[in-house]
Amino acid sequence: MSKKYILTIIMAFCLGSTFAEQLESSNLTTTKAESSLADQVLPTPTPVATPAAKPVNSTPLKPVNKIVAYVNKRIITQNELNNQMVQARFNLSQRGIKDTNNADLKNKVLEQMIMQQIQLDLAQRGGIKTSDAEVNDAIAANEKAQRITDDQMRQKLASQGLSYDDFRSQIRDQITIEKLKQREVDGRVVINEDEVTRILNSETYKNKIDYRLADIVINLPEQATQEIIAQKQKQADSVYQLLKQGQSFDQMAIKYSSAPNALAGGDLGWKSNTSLPPIILNQLTGLKEGEITQVIKLPIGFFIFKVNGIKQHGTPQIVRQYNVRHILVKVNELTSDDEAHQKINDIRAKIVKYDGDSARESQEFVEMAKQYSEDTSSLKGGDIGWVSKGDTVPQFEHAMLTTPQGQISQPIRSPFGWHILQVMNIRDSNLANDKEKAEIRMELRDTKAQMLYTEWVRNLKEMAYVKINDD
């Protein structure tokens, strides 16, 4: 395994696994020119004559809604921060994390809100929008997953102090940011088949173990001096000693960790030993559930890991595979999103005009793929062979799983452009390698996407203007 590959795995793995948590501490700057703006409060009361004596039953003044941060040309208010802190406390309580220090929680929540706003600004400039229908579909899927009705969902939100309108707004923002991530990051992820084969044939994979991990990260600046490195090492050692004395790992992560998953108590989810770099795996080997590693120095900082669960590699399951063909119209400098969308709609219309004649539709699909598809599979009439879950990007996979066999899908937007697809056949394979390779591909895709996303977010922060109002 090359040093470059190991470094890629280390950086991506240690910075967390959940897109919603990929938020880092911002470089905060101030300017004298905005000092007067920082003193603003919302709303500004209209001046009125002051009475000589205050009536006993007069209405008390409402707390002012101060500006707590400036992000590019936008602001974050105290009320918005307070609302997010209430939700953060609720989420932490669901994980069993209580009594979090208010100042620590405020800092972490504000960092999340700042990074979210930076990404939403970029999405707006890039023309990325989320429709009401997409929000409705996401909420419906959420309710279905929880097996609750719409009324029950509203009651649940109310118990958390969250209005339904605010909930919809949050869902819209999440979808928009995910679209931005797919465009800027996920489309650049390439999985090399040699990587998959090398891991599949390794000794580590033959003795596969999954760890439920959490981490605390003491970050190192990119150009850290020896003095700064020594200071960070001392801080990491102090945190380690506190943990050994019985301090809560969750609370220590919220207080000290600079990783984007700090508000989740450092939770990283389940990680296979095949995806862990040796420097981390060597520390985990032999640990029991609930134990922690020593401080591990990596290129981006000092890390402490906790093992929250261990499970052995189980018996491979049967893999369902889909024989798929597709037509792709790419979105690029020459073809806009709207143009590509219209073109794929026109192609689909030419195929489905035979109204249920599957033989004619299949023949027409092959001809259209050869003529119009901007993919190497066009030479084979769009046939990309047998595909398993985890082999493709999420949008394409969802359409593949939900489109009835033999029918032509509706247009699909992926990081590559606009597609239509047809599932020609479905089979259940009992070949262990199929399932194992699919799992390895997913792990590699997650790892590479995490690293690319981390680099991308870091660059976004450097280009953004952020100022905290400490008044």
Q: Which amino acid is at 163?
A: S
Q: Which residues pair with 330 in a beta bridge?
A: 417
pLDDT at 43: 38
Q: What is the pLDDT of residue 259?
A: 81
Chain segment 204-230, per-residue pLDDT in tens: 777 788 899 999 988 887 788 999 999
How far apart are the C-alpha atoms of 337 and 455, rounded to whole Å?
A: 26
Give the per-residue SS3 of 315-357.
Answer: CCCCEEEEEEEEEEEECCCCCCHHHHHHHHHHHHHHHHCCCCC
DSSP bridge pairs for 311: 210
What's the one-letter identity of residue 258? Answer: S
Q: Of 461, 468, 19, which is closest to residue 222 (Cα–Cα)?
A: 461
pLDDT value, residue 349 = 93
In sequence order, which ranges of 245-287 are alpha helices (DSSP H)? 249-256, 278-284
DSSP state of 275: G
Regarding pTM above 0.85, the answer is: no
pLDDT at 233: 96
Looking at this protein, which amino acid is placed at residue 336? S
Give the chain's residues under pLDDT 70.
Answer: 1-64, 313-318, 429-435, 447, 450-451, 454-455, 458, 462, 471
Which residue has 């609930």 as its token pair?
Answer: 290
Residue with tokens 């279905």: 144
Burial code (b: 16+ CB inside 10 Å, e: under 16) for 250-273 equals: bbbbbbbbbbbbbbbbbbbbebbb
Give the per-residue pLDDT at 354: 80
Tokens describing residue 250 = 């969750």
Please tell me the distance from the alpha carbon of residue 111 to that of residue 107, in angstroms, as a whole number. 6
pLDDT at position 453, please?
73
Q: Name, in order, each residue with C-beta under 8 angstroms of 444's C-beta and a sequence gap of 6 or more.
A: 191, 195, 196, 199, 275
* Element housing 118 (H / E): helix 102-125
Quote the distance between the C-alpha of residue 268 and its chain's center. 12
Q: How many CB atoms lie within 10 A of CB 395?
A: 17
Quote the CA–CA distance of 177 and 116 in Å, as a whole number.
8
- pLDDT for 49 equals 38
